[in-house]
Amino acid sequence: MTTWTGTTTIISTIAAALLWGRFYYVRMRRAGAQLKALQLEYAALLREQQGITFKIKKIDGRYCYTMADGQLFYRLGLTQADIGKTMEDIFPESMHAYIRSIYDRAWAGEQFQYESELKGYTYLNSVMPIKKDGQTVEVIIVGSDITERKKAEKDMQESEDRYRRLVDLSPDAIMVIGNGKLVLANQKAIQYLGDGSLEKLMERPLGTIVHPDYLTRASKHVQQVLERRDVLRPFESVYLRLDGQPFDVEVTASWMQYNGESAVMVIFRDITQRKLEKQQLQESNKLLSQLAHVDGLTGIANRRFFDDMFDKEWELAVHGALPLSVILCDIDYFKAYNDSYGHQEGDTCLRQVAGVLNRLPLANGGVVARYGGEEFIILLPETSLEDAAAIGGMLGDSMMKLAIPHRASRVSSSVTISVGVAAITPTAWADKEVLVRHADTALYEAKQQGRNQMKIYGSESMVKEGV
């Protein structure tokens, strides 16, 4: 019984061992299959990656490639047949020293990155030494294709270089403002602002570049450009040189991106000379205009200026329903004066009479002008007939006080004048020439009645006489 039991136990043990062995065998086969699948997957990943992964070993002092794969590996024109070759077999001789120095660093145990070029490709490599017992036994290098990135960087650098050259060669001054300070300026800006160098100019606070009277507006402009990414139309301002000397500038500004951040590009030019020339031109034009409207002999306004002012004042009187008056006067027996005293004395007489007229107290922009020959005219805006007659009376009194001798006169021993006065409140359909005709009619009547007197158009005496 005991023997049978022992035999059973041995058989059970053997059966269990056989079952366990069978289970272990199946399990190992499955593990092997999984490992092989992982290896295949890993190999596929290496091959399909866009970069390159390779291993190197140092054999007899030369670096040999023991493994390499990846899409970049094949784009470089290499194949699996190149595995086992040395660095000297793969790279051109011009690169041997550089690549050997890289691999020497790696074999010394250093981890780093480096760039290399081969057959038109640029790639960035990450180096990782594999050590055993403190000694490097192989090196794994993983590279990625950065050809397009390097080309983009080169293009960007070339573009930036061209931009900088254009900025430096610009006939206008250019500044770039970022984060509330000056970050770039060309030579023209440095020249205008008188700082000598970009470094010195960049040390200046913006508030010392713009004249205090224009600083608030300049700050608003910068803020507007930044907020709206706007472009400002040219405007005038005043900047300050380093020595504090102001100069006139024409400025425009626009938004730009500088070093990845919002900035304002300011373009300006010195217009001091231009403004001076413009001012001189305006003064010359003003002088020419004055000369064109001044009677050369008497120095008072001429007929042309009177006509211009008459047109303007007539329109104002029409719109405002305001009275407008005219005084027309003529030196009595002036031809006889010239015959008696000569033309030079006649000219002197004309200037003296013009001076009397020019000193009359005329309100509302009244105008005194030489109308022709010995005839003068006075335009009186916003003046009634009565007030105009009062001025005409003052004119007669002033002539008496002037007392210019006139031995050829038939009415006085001194120069006298005849005066005609007229007034009207014009309407839109009225003919403006009627006012001067009325004044001329009154003057004619004064002469007919014996000269040295004033007649008022529309007065009772002229109505009675049928004028």
- Residues noted as catalytic: 374
- Could you give the 3-state DSSP secondary structure of residue 91? coil
The DSSP code for 210 is B
Question: Exposed e or buried b for every residue in 342-381, given b needs 16+ CB within 10 A?
Answer: eeeebeebbeebbebbbebebeeebbbbbbeebbbbbbbb
Q: How many whole angstroms separate alpha carbon 353 and alpha carbon 374? A: 9
Q: How many whole angstroms separate alpha carbon 166 and alpha carbon 35? A: 63
Q: How far apart are the first and last CA of the chain?
A: 178
Question: Exposed e or buried b for every residue in 434-452, given b needs 16+ CB within 10 A?
Answer: ebbebbbbbbbbbeeeebb
Instruction: Say if residues 442 and 423 touch (Cβ distance below 8 Å).
Output: no
Retrieve residue 8's tokens: 């059973």
Q: How many whole angstroms separate alpha carbon 330 and alpha carbon 349? A: 12
Instruction: Say if residues 256 and 263 touch (Cβ distance below 8 Å).
Output: yes
E strand or H helix at 175: strand 173-178
